Amino acid sequence: MSIWEKNKIYLAFSIGSLKRSMAYKANIYMGTIGNILIVSVTFFLWKAIYSSSSKSVMNGFNINDMLVYVMITFVISLITFSDCKFIVGDEVRDGSIAMELIKPINYRKRVMFMNFGVFMYNFIFLFLPGFIIVTAYSFYKGIHIGIMQIILFSVSIFLGFLINTYYSYMFGLLSFKFYNIWGISQIAQAIVMLISGSLIPLTFFPSIIAQIFSILPFSSIIYTPAMIYLGKYSTFDSIKAIIIQLIWVFIMSVLSKLVWNRLAYKLTIQGG
C-alpha cells in the first residue's frame, strides 16, 4: 500500500478543519488583530531605540533589518502556529477523546492532519497577504529578497511548522495527566516566544545564552526562517540550518511517540 493510500483517509480531517476555520474566521481575525497591535508596539519601540542610539548597527541589525525582522517573525508565527494542544486538550476535557481512541485510525495522525487544515487556512488567508506586504516593505527599504532566499525560506517555515506541531501535540498529551493545561500552556508559550527569537533576535542575548537557545528546537520555528529571509545566513549556512531543522523534526516525531506511550495509560475520561 502506497503512502498516499495509507494517508488518504486522514485528508478528510484536514478538509474538515479547513472548513471549520473558514466558518469561525472571525475568531482568528480578532486574535490576529490583537497580535498586530502588539507587533505595532514592538515596531515603534525598536524605531525609538535605534533613533536614540549612537549606533546605526546593533548585533548585525540596522534599523531597516530590525523593522523587517519584527514584521517577518510575526508573519512566520502565523504560519507555524499549531492547534494540536487545543485539539487534544478540548477532547480530554469534554470526554470525546474516548470515542476517538476506539476508532480504527491513528490518533496522532488524525490530530496532525486536523492541524494541517488550520495550516492551509493560515497560509492562504493570513500568511500570503502578510508575506507580500512585508516583502514589498523590504524592497522599499532597500532589502533585496532573492529567489533562492524565498525557496529556502519556504522550506524552513514548513519544517518550523512541523517542529511546532510535534511540540504542541506533546504538550497537548500532558492533559492526559493534568486534565487542564491552560495555565502551564500560557507560561510555556511565553517562554517559547522568548527563546525562539520571536520577540528579540538571538544575537541580542549574551553569547553563551544565544548558543544555548540556538541548539534548542524552538529557534528553528521562528529565528531560522527569519534569518534566511533577511539574508543573514549565506546559502550554505541556510542549508545547514535546514538540515538541523530536519534533525529536529525527526527527534520531535520520535519524542511524540514516546510521550504517547508513557501518558496514554494515564488518561482519565471526563464528561460523557
Q: What is the pLDDT of residue 269?
A: 65
pTM of the model: 0.92
**Band of the pLDDT at 3, cuts 50, 70, 90?**
low
Task: Name which of 128, 132, 156 is nearest 219 in CA terms.
Answer: 156
With 70 as the cut, is the pLDDT of residue 1 above it? no
Q: How confident is the model at residue 268 (pLDDT cuts 50, 70, 90)?
A: low
Q: What is the pLDDT of residues 10-69, one digit of tens each?
A: 999 999 999 988 888 777 778 778 888 888 999 999 999 999 988 899 999 999 999 999
Crossing angle of helices 147-173/107-122, nearest 10°?
140
Query: How far is Cα of residue 21 from the mean position of the Cα atoms in its chain?
Result: 17
How many C-alpha atoms does 25 have within 13 Å on its Cβ side?
A: 10
Question: What proportion of the chain, given as a percentage, has pLDDT over 90?
Answer: 63
| Three-point CA angle 22, 28, 30, nearest 5° | 130
Could you report the per-residue pLDDT of 91-108, keeping only the tens digit for each? 888 888 888 888 888 999
241-267 pLDDT tens trace? 999 999 999 999 999 999 998 887 767
Which residue, chain included where needed, has cell 511517540? 257
CA distance 165 to 189: 13
Q: Is 5's pLDDT higher than 60?
A: yes
Q: Do residues 228 and 152 touch, judged by C-beta distance below 8 A?
A: yes
Owner of C-alpha cell 492533559: 175
Q: CA-CA distance, 123 to 117, in Å (whole number)?
A: 10
Predicted pLDDT of residue 44: 92
Indicate the pLDDT class of residue 136, thresholds 50, 70 and 90. very high
pLDDT digits (tens, 9 = 90+) for 202-241: 999 999 999 999 989 999 999 999 999 999 999 999 999 9
Structural domain spans, the chain: 3-266
What count of Cα atoms within 13 Å lies in the side-chain half-sphere of residue 202? 26
Task: Give every CB contact of residue 110 below 8 A, 6+ residues apart in sequence.
Answer: 10, 13, 100
Element containing residue 5 per DSSP (H, E): helix 3-7
- Give the pLDDT mean for 189-200: 87
DSSP annotation of 95 reads S
At 121 the pLDDT is: 92
CA distances from 182 to 74, 127, 163, 228 (A): 23, 26, 21, 33
